[in-house]
Each structure stands twice: as C-alpha cells, then as structure tokens.
Amino acid sequence: MKTTTHTVIARALVLAAALAGCGRGVTSTPGEAPNLEKWVVDVKARPAPPLEPLPVMQQFETFEYAAQGLRDPFSRAFTDDGNGSGPRPDSARRKQALEAFPLDSLDMVGTLGRGAGLIALVMAPDKVTYRVRIGDYMGQSDGRVTSVHDDRIELVELVPDGAGGWLERPATLALDDNK
C-alpha cells in the first residue's frame, strides 16, 4: 500500500505545482501589462502599407465585321430542304431483326455457300445467329448489304447530313477469327 499512497501524494504535488504556475502572469487590470499596451500603441501608430498599383488595362485593336456581301453560313439557302432527289430512308419498309442492334455490336461469324449464293452468318448481342444476304438490312442507320464475301460484309448506311438531307456512307462488318 505504500506505493499507492506515494503515488497519490506525488500526483497531488504535481497538480498543485501546475495550478500554482498557472496563476502567474494573469492580469486583472489594464495597468499591470505595460509592455502589451505599449506594443498596441506602436502598432496603431505605424503608417499603413502602400496599396499595390492597379493593373494596366490592355488596349485591344477594334475589328469591324464587313462580310455583308457574303452568304450567311447559318442560312438554309444553300442546303437541301428535304425535297431533293438524294437518298432517303424508306419509312414504309418493314424493319428487319438486325436493325434493332448497332452495327458495331454485330459479329460476322462465318459464311454458307459459294459464289453469288454466299450467305453470311451474323451473331447479334442476343446470342442469336442470323443469315444475311445481299439486299438485307442491318444496323441502326438503314444499312443495306451490298455484297457478301468470305471475310466481310459490305453495306451502305444512310446518315443525316445535318442540313435535312441524307448521305450514303460505306461500312464493313469483318469476320472475327478470334470467335
């Protein structure tokens, strides 16, 4: 029990010394801290530092747009208004099964037959294999198959030209030897 009593007494002495040290230097009246008051007066007496100068504004050269005589690039005067004789998707045509999938999601997995009667085998994302012949449609851009080869299917897609008309774009679906 001696060690416990000595420990308690030692802790009490350390606590008393710490509390006694906290009482020193605490001021209760303004006259007891002359150094602090002098420092505050000195800081207030200093002149304010100078302000940074304002940045110099750049002068830009004026430019007058003088293209009144040129055609307006945003007007529809030189664009196809939809009544031309260019290619158009056939809205009355019944959609085929492979037109439900994007062209890049379709995989050519093989062919059947020879020569002009060559039929391509295409696997869709739904894991169903479809037979594709010349004249069939596939992909979501009205892609019409123009030729079937042992290693690829060639087709022509119709894509909007941004001005109300349509453009034909060639596309190819190649045989994937890794499958």
pLDDT digits (tens, 9 = 90+) for 117-164: 889 999 999 999 999 999 999 999 999 999 999 899 999 999 888 878
- The whole-angstrom separation of Cα 130 and Cα 67 is 56
In percent, the amount of the chain with pLDDT more than 90 equals 31
Return the C-alpha torsion angle 10, 14, 16, 19, nearest 10.
Answer: -160
88, 170 in Cβ contact below 8 A? no
SS3 content of the chain, % helix, strand, coil (to 5): 25, 25, 50
Backbone phi, psi, residue 95, to 5°: -70, 145
Residue 12, classed as helix, strand or coil, is helix
Backbone phi, psi, residue 173, to 5°: -115, 110
Task: Note the Cα 155 to chain centre separation in Å.
Answer: 32
Residue 101, classed as helix, strand or coil, is coil
How confident is the model over 46-67, as a mean pLDDT?
Answer: 86
Model pLDDT, residue 126: 92
